[in-house]
A and B are shown apart, each in its own frame.
Chain A
Amino acid sequence: MRRGTRLTKTGILAAILILTISLMLGACGNKDKDKDKDKENAGSSPASSANSGPSGSASAAGDLPEVTLTWYFPGNFPQPEQDKVFAEVNKIVKQKLNATIDFKPIAFGDYDQKMKVVIASGEPYDLAFTSNWINNYSQNVAKGAFLPLDDLLAQYAPKSYAAVPANFWDATRVNGKIYGYINYQISARTPEVSTAKSLADKYGFDINSIGGKLSADTMNLLEPYIAAVKKDHPEKAFITSLSQISEMFTFESISGINIPGAVFFNDDTLKVVNQFETDEFKKFAAVMRDWNAKGYMNTKERISKKQDDWADAKAGKWMINIGGAYKPGGDVLATSLGGETYVSAPASTPHLTTNGIIATMHAISRTSKNPERAMMLLELLNTDKELFNLLNFGIKDDHFKLNDEGFMVAGPNQQAYNPQVPWMFASNFLAYVQEGMPKTVWEDTIKLNEAAAPSNLLGFSFDAEPVKAEIGKTSAVFDEYYRGIELGITTEEKYNEFLKKLKNAGADKMIAEMQKQIDAWKATKK
């Protein structure tokens, strides 16, 4: 008898389990169906909104049918209170565009993988962040994942289209069409030289005196300062990273400094050379060798790491650093990273390159049901300062505050929302200026952009697909040797070995391919 009751208990349990599963499954199914209905409604709208024509200004929200726009973007997400901020954003977007954004913030590390699957499966979405360093722009355009934007830009985003110089737009063109909406930011690139202000003051070093003057030939400008500091502070070292200073040389690396293939800025014939075989690069390696011999590098301690990071700066082990990218107000960032006041200057004269421009863009998906509404959203984000800053810094007086002079300062609750990717959401120049930066920082940046000498290769982007294997091999060789070169441990003999290994890895084949593509590009330009 007892057995019998026990058995029914198990039986009942099993039955309940099965029932709950099916119930819950059913419930989920319904929810999704509802969502689909929403999507269908959304899907039926473009026709009517297209009828309403170019009047798509913010005030015309009433005439626009309701839509949901899906937006994938990378960043330091999740933020603890992102849902609260996104809800606020949606309130404004709803009112101005009668649209709701379905935010899909993805962590940096996952974004590539995620977008590959989303694009390959043909899943409908509207907007996605794209660039040359994440969710690769040219590969996606080649796959046909994005819509051409020329007409949409002219019709629905005239203001923000006009705000960005025409040669910037040209840099995004693939076969004559624009596929990427530029988030306007600093595109003139040169590394930044920075050092702690206390040190510079103590040893009478004026960083502006060397600003814009550094190159492989003029590294000795830094030497008096380094030698003087070194005497009193043996624990501090000269820091640089090969992968961050490619713009300091007088050539443009076509596919990153770690891949052989570069064109000199002053070379109108656009001849591709192997940057590691140039006299300039060899000279730089020789200077590093010399400095290591003089003990400026603290090699023993640094060799165990593949890369220096700012944590060491905080620990007081950095003397002067060349790396990152110079921008007006950059010393504020260095200060927050280094834990004390920093001064900074541009390493060399900045150049305007394709890579600097296509580093921050949005694309509209081929699978988007409402491309024109997506474009309207981009226009809104790039013209509505308040909305942009809401996304960027969070809710005013909670996550951030504006002080009396109009500078942005941290709010009481900043830790809950601070993604720190202004260039990700829209034009960087709409952001409130952070306290400590010059008030005119964005004007200065725009000036810098406009003053920068455009590279001869502006508008060319290299399609790496045909030489993928060689790229993998050569960058592996680079990985093996770069730390030794930047620390100055690599002897001349070793350096030649490095060059030989690059050759064996297919450097010449790659350079030939680059030359071929550049020649073809040059021909279409004329």
Chain B
Amino acid sequence: MALRAKLPKILIHLVLILFGILCIIPLISIISVSLSDETTILKNGYSLLPQGLNLHAYAYVLYKPVQLLNALKVSLLVSVFGTVVSLLVSAGISYVLSREDYKYKNKLSFYVFFTMLFNGGLVPTYMLISKYLHLKNTLWVLILPYLAIPWFILILRTFMQKIPHSIIESCMIDGASELRIFFRIILPLAKPGLATVGLFTLLQYWNDWWLSLLYIEKESLVPLQFMLYRMINNIEFLTRSTNMMPPGMNNVVVPAETARMAMAILAAGPMLAVFPFFQKYFVSGLTVGAIKG
């Protein structure tokens, strides 16, 4: 009897455990490769347990870690600062868009929505940013373009629409100013939504290499993801076009297998640590878009 009742549960758990294992295996193998001995990896291929445990790869990557640390600093600065400011901006727009009594609500909504479908294209954008705004090689170019992302604004707007208008009205009757209503009432009520969008924004900033590829030429402003992307991209390029290159090219030292994995761990690490803290809000926030009250 007892077993029969438990069986489905056990099955479900087994499936979930299996799924969990599948998710974590790649991560474990990356960690294990990064801790392995280079030549044994070349001979035997990847494995789940480190072969010939050593820290050479990390020593290699962290040799003169100025670059890596600096990239980490840039990434952190851009991600944290960018996320805070972006949340403030997006919440501001979303709140205005969610207010029934705002006259230009539809027009503004359309304006936001329109940029989701159409944009200036690569070269005009590049010209605008480098020639007219003079943002090339500044930290700002990594932050400003993602300050207001239409999709996130629409998510937040939907969330805020669920806040009853009567609350706002009663605050007004009590004599609260618009700013006070926004900061004291709306933002706290929208916390789950803000956390979700905040996480998305954080990931967007953290994972971005595109802006730095285009606009950053100063080594001191290169963020972590771009560093990583550049490394992978280089390896790919070098294997693809060896036949076209001038002789002497094949002596280029491609970062070894283990070093690459060590870099990946160092780059992904911080995000792995941040994620669990957001998870609490994440689940409730995700359902936000699904159910419209």
Is A45 interfacial (CB-CB < 8 Å)? no
- Distance in angstroms from B183 CB to nearest chain A CB is 5
Contact with B along A116-127 (1 / 0, CB 8 A): 010011110000
Q: Please, which residues of chain B bring their CB within 8 A of the CB of A24?
A: 140
Q: How far is the CB of B8 from chain A (nearest CB, A)?
A: 41
The CA of A3 and the CA of B66, in the complex, are separated in Å by 46
Select B243's contact among A25, A32, A244, beta carbons within 8 Å.
Answer: A244
List B residues 235-250 near A (Cβ within 8 Å).
235-239, 241-250
Interface string of B244-266 (1 = CB under 8 A from A): 11111111110001000000000
**What is the chain A residue whose CB lies nearest that of B64?**
A80
* Segment of A7-15, A369-377, A490-498 in the binding face: A7-15
Segment with Cβ contacts to B, from A59-67, A288-296, A307-315, A396-404: A307-315
CB–CB A78/B219 < 8 A? yes
Partner-binding segment picked from A106-114, A139-147, A515-523: A106-114
Q: Are B234 and A108 in contact (CB under 8 A)?
A: yes
Residue among A109, A123, A420 facing the most chain B CB atoms (10 A cut-off): A109
How far, in Å, is B188 (CB) from chain A's closest CB? Answer: 11
* Contact present for A423 and B248 (CB under 8 Å): yes
A104 within 8 A of B: yes
Q: Choose, from B112-120, B121-129, B158-166, the stretch at the interface.
A: B121-129
**Interchain CA distance A360-B245 in the complex, whole Å:** 9
Neighbouring A residues of B253 by C-beta, 8 Å: 76, 418, 420
Contact B126 A185 (CB under 8 A): no
CA distance A154 to B225 in the complex (A): 46
Interface residue? B271 (CB, 8 A): no
Give Cα distance in the complex from A421 to B134, angstroms: 32
- Alpha-carbon distance between A108 and B182 when the two chains are bound, in angstroms: 49
Interface centre among A28, A134, A333 (most CB of B within 10 A): A28
Q: Across the interface, do B214 and A10 meet the contact criterion of CB distance under 8 Å?
A: no
Q: Do A7 and B127 touch across chains, with their CB atoms under 8 A apart?
A: no
Of A220-228, A269-277, A323-331, the one contacting chain B is A323-331
- The reply to whether A333 and B250 form a contact with Cβ atoms under 8 Å apart is yes
Asked if A383 CB lies within 8 Å of chain B CBs, one says no
Please name the residue on chain A nearest to B176 by beta carbon: A7
Contact across chains for A186 and B247 when beta carbons are under 8 A apart: yes
Asked if B251 contacts A420 (CB within 8 A), the reply is yes
Whether a CB of chain A sits under 8 angstroms from the CB of B39 is yes
Q: Which of A171-194 contact B (CB under 8 A)?
A: 185-186, 189
Q: Mark A1-29, 1 if CB is under 8 A from B, else 0.
A: 00100010011001001000100110011
Contact mask B169-204 → A, CB, 8 Å, 1/0? 000000000011001100000000000000000000
A310 to B180, CA, bound (A): 66
Q: Tell me which of A14, A82, A311 has the highest count of chain B C-beta atoms within 10 A of its own C-beta.
A: A311
B292 interface residue (CB < 8 Å to A):
no
Taking a contact as CB atoms closer than 8 A, the residue among A121, A185, A241 that contacts B123 in the complex is A121
Instruction: Answer whether residue A341 sits at the interface, using C-beta atoms and an 8 A cutoff.
Output: no
B247-A330 in contact (CB<8A) = yes
**Cα–Cα distance between A32 and B242 once the two chains are bound (Å):** 39
Chain A residues with Cβ below 8 Å from B138 are 28
B44 closest partner in A (C-beta): A315
Do residues B230 and A109 form an inter-chain contact, with CB atoms below 8 A? Answer: yes
In the assembly, what is the distance between CA of A246 and CA of B138, in Å?
46
B239 touches A307 (CB 8 A): yes
A132 at the interface (CB under 8 A from B): yes
Give the A-B pair count, Cβ closer than 8 A: 139
Q: A28-B138, A80-B66, A110-B233 are in contact. Are A256 and B243 (CB under 8 A)?
A: yes
Q: B196-241: which residues lie under 8 A (CB-CB) from chain A?
A: 213-214, 217, 219, 222, 230, 232-239, 241
Residues of chain A with a CB closer than 8 A to B123's CB: 117, 120-121
B135 in the interface (beta carbon within 8 A)? yes
B-side contacts of A333, CB under 8 Å: 248, 250-251
Interface bin, chain A: 35 or more
Let me know if A48 is at the binding interface, CB within 8 A.
Answer: no
Residues of B with C-beta under 8 A to A117: 122-123, 126, 214
The answer on a CB contact under 8 Å between B236 and A10 is: no
Out of A33, A106, A185, name the residue touching B246 (CB < 8 Å): A185
Given contacts A7-B183, A78-B219, A310-B250, contact A133 B131 (CB under 8 A): no
Complex Cα distance, B251 from A325, in Å, reads 12
Report which of A17, A123, A327 forms a contact with B130, defined as CB distance below 8 A: A123
Which residues from 21 to 63 on chain B have a C-beta closer than 8 Å to any C-beta of chain A? Answer: 39, 42-43, 63
Say yes or no: A359-B213 contact (C-beta < 8 A), given A7-B180, A315-B43.
no
Does chain B have a CB within 8 A of A337? yes
**B134 and A32 contacting across the interface, CB-CB below 8 Å:** yes
A261 to B: closest C-beta gap in Å: 16
Q: Are A315 and B39 in contact (CB under 8 A)?
A: yes
Q: Which of A28, A241, A246 meets B134, CB within 8 Å?
A: A28
A243 at the binding interface (Cβ < 8 Å)? yes
**Contact sample, A vs B, 20 pairs, CB 8 Å cutoff:** A3-B184, A7-B180, A17-B85, A28-B140, A76-B234, A78-B67, A109-B234, A109-B236, A117-B122, A120-B123, A121-B123, A122-B127, A185-B246, A186-B246, A256-B243, A311-B42, A324-B247, A326-B247, A420-B252, A421-B249
Other A-B pairs, 11, CB within 8 Å; known A17-B84, A24-B140: A17-B85, A28-B138, A76-B234, A80-B63, A82-B219, A108-B233, A110-B213, A133-B241, A189-B247, A243-B243, A330-B247
| Top 7 A-B pairs, shortest CB-CB distance | A109-B233, A133-B244, A325-B247, A32-B134, A109-B237, A243-B243, A315-B42
**A-binding residues in B (CB < 8 A):** 39, 42-43, 63-64, 66-67, 84-85, 88, 122-123, 126-127, 130-131, 134-135, 138, 140, 179-180, 183-184, 213-214, 217, 219, 222, 230, 232-239, 241-253, 257
